[in-house]
């Protein structure tokens, strides 16, 4: 009887160890999500001659689809100025991939900008939380050279 009890105890221990070992090897499948890309904005015309016809082309990636995108810059007086949608064509509305393209008619802001200066445009959400920033350089228009007339002889 002792041999039988000892044999049964050994079998129970071996089976228990095997079950415990098998339970620990069960693979857990976890979904791994890629981190959300940070919003980025690029200027295809980073250096612009300041004039009534100045245009700045901007495009962005990494935004939420249909997210409201606003542009804010500090003007020559130090005042924060929001670029209105009237000066942007088309309105910067991110598509399903989070990308948008727009052209800013900077000539409408001529009195608020100065030549030979770099401004930083804050790209914000509808609550004016800065998502990213992008610099734009405005160059003064070339000075006109007046021709001096030669004295008549």
pLDDT at 11: 57
Asked if residue 75 belongs to a domain, the reply is yes
Q: What residues are paired with 48 via a beta bridge?
A: 138
pLDDT at 46: 84
Report, as ranges of residue numbers, the positions in the chain whose pLDDT lies below 50.
Answer: none
pLDDT at 76: 86
pLDDT at 49: 94
Asked if residue 14 belongs to a domain, the reply is no
Asked if residue 148 belongs to a domain, the reply is no
Count CB atoms within 10 A of the CB of residue 111.
9
Q: Which CATH number is 44's domain given?
A: 2.60.40.1930
pTM flag (> 0.85): no
Q: Which domain holds residue 53?
A: 40-139
Asked if residue 82 belongs to a domain, the reply is yes
Domain count, the chain: 1
Contacts of 62 (CB under 8 A, 6+ apart): 36, 37, 38, 39, 40, 98
Asked if residue 56 belongs to a domain, the reply is yes
């Amino acid at each position: 009887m002792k041999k039988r009890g000892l044999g049964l105890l050994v079998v129970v221990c071996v089976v228990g160890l095997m079950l415990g070992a098998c339970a620990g090897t069960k693979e857990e499948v976890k979904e791994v999500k890629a981190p959300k890309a940070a919003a980025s904005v690029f200027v295809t015309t980073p250096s612009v001659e300041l004039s009534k016809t100045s245009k700045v082309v901007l495009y962005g990636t990494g935004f939420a689809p249909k997210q409201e995108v606003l542009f804010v810059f500090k003007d020559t007086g130090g005042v924060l100025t929001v670029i209105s949608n009237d000066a942007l064509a088309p309105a910067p509305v991110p598509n399903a991939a989070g990308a948008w393209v727009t052209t800013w008619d900077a000539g409408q802001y001529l009195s608020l900008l100065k030549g030979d200066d770099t401004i930083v445009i804050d790209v914000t959400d509808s609550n004016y939380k800065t998502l990213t920033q992008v610099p734009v350089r405005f160059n003064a228009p070339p000075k006109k050279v007046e021709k001096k007339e030669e004295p008549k002889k």
